[in-house]
Structure 1
């Protein structure tokens, strides 16, 4: 006799809970802190053939030749060094 009473109480509470208004949705957009783009520090090497470049420790770097396939993922703190087919640095950028 107690089991039907307990089931009725639980079922009633569940139904009442289902009738509660849905709280407004809050969307929080968290943007990671953007690292400083330091490509400007290396513009002096553009035009040089195979320059010896030292970047700060922990800096993500990508070297590629003009026309090579590269991923299109955006990483604002990654340094991109683009070389032509002769090994001359033609562009330094971030992304």
Structure 2
């Protein structure tokens, strides 16, 4: 990957795009995040570092939009690929 700080990323729910962003807007760049976390923990290949989310989250919509069972989410990051999930109800409630 030529520049991890220039990757488009997006999220759709049932085909509607809610989030559209780019890694260039991250508050901290990747080398800093790895260095900082390495002070407190041993990182292993395959570890995931959650860094937040691009603008467009459902809670910030007018009116707010929340996920419902059966909805399909699709998300991707340029050069890394995409994935899909289906929302399921919490059976403990």
TM-score of the pair, normalised by structure 2: 0.26
Of structures 1 and 2, the one with the larger relative CO (CA 8 A, separation 6+) is 2
Q: Counting strand residues as a fraction of each chain, which structure ranks higher?
A: 2
Instruction: Considering fraction of residues, name the structure with more helix.
Output: 1
- Which of structures 1 and 2 has the bigger CA Rg? 1
